[in-house]
Amino acid sequence: MSNKSDSDIDLRNKIIAKPSMILDDQDVMRALIKANEKAMGANIIDIRGIAMDRLETRLDRLEDTHRSVIAAAYDNLSGTSQIQRAILRIMDALDFPTFIADLEGDVREILRVDRIALVFESRKKDATFLKAKLGNNDIIKIVPARFIDTYLTQGRNTPVRDVVLREVAERPSEIYDSSMALIQSEAALKLAFGPERLPGMLLLGAEDPRQFSQQQGTDLLTFFSGFFERAMRRWLA
């Protein structure tokens, strides 16, 4: 008996002892199916082979979906952790200057954005009060009344959303000064300060044009916005 025959016999015995080594290997099974099709001839349709191909396709799709679901769940968990950490940091401030410093520093880093702008609408008679109340800081922007709704809708006759994610298209000088020249995408969060006050807006800016887009969910930022506007009411009181 030749060495080749001995090798064949040895391989046969291994397969008989452990058939899963063949059945669990997709490449080997695919090769066996093709060999079987050739042996049957071109005029014979192998229904089992077709069924297996379809099952493999469905399995591949299921695996892709499974990976996508896991990735989405991980991103959501990571995003939730970011928002929670940012909220806790905001709650630490004992005075308004510290609040602004934390917003510009630690909170910005936790949220992984490059710039933050805190925008307040004001009528002429309120401007002096706001400047006295809020102080002089680069991230604080005071704009005319009705500016924020126009900015959020970009002047279109559409409903105003409380959270807008998009690439930066317009750069009004009231918000986009030289420090924000590199910002390519933004999350704009409309803030309500109470029935007797004009609205505000928290703008999170990123240099990455893909960091904020219309296809992303807004649930976490909506929650953060609700907390932030309540924190601001305390400082405006």
Q: Domains plus CATH for the chain?
A: 94-236 (3.30.450)
Structure tokens at 158: 């559409």
Q: Phi and psi (nearest 5°) for 140?
A: -90, 125
Structure tokens at 65: 């979906």
pLDDT tens for 187-222 read 999 999 888 888 999 999 999 999 998 888 888 899
Q: How confident is the model at residue 223 (pLDDT cuts 50, 70, 90)?
A: very high
| pLDDT higher than threshold 90 for residue 18 | no
| pLDDT higher than threshold 90 for residue 19 | no
Output the pTM of the full model: 0.67
Q: Which residues have a Cβ under 8 Å from the Cβ of 114 and sit 6 or more positions away?
A: 108, 182, 183, 205, 206, 207
Phi-psi label, residue 116: left if phi above 0, alpha if psi -120 to 50, beta otherwise = beta
HEC string of 81-93 equals HHHHHHHHHHHCC
Give the pLDDT score at 29: 74
| pLDDT higher than threshold 50 for residue 30 | yes
Give the pLDDT score at 161: 92
Residues listed for the chain: 237
| Mean per-residue pLDDT, 123-152 | 80
| Mean per-residue pLDDT, 120-128 | 74
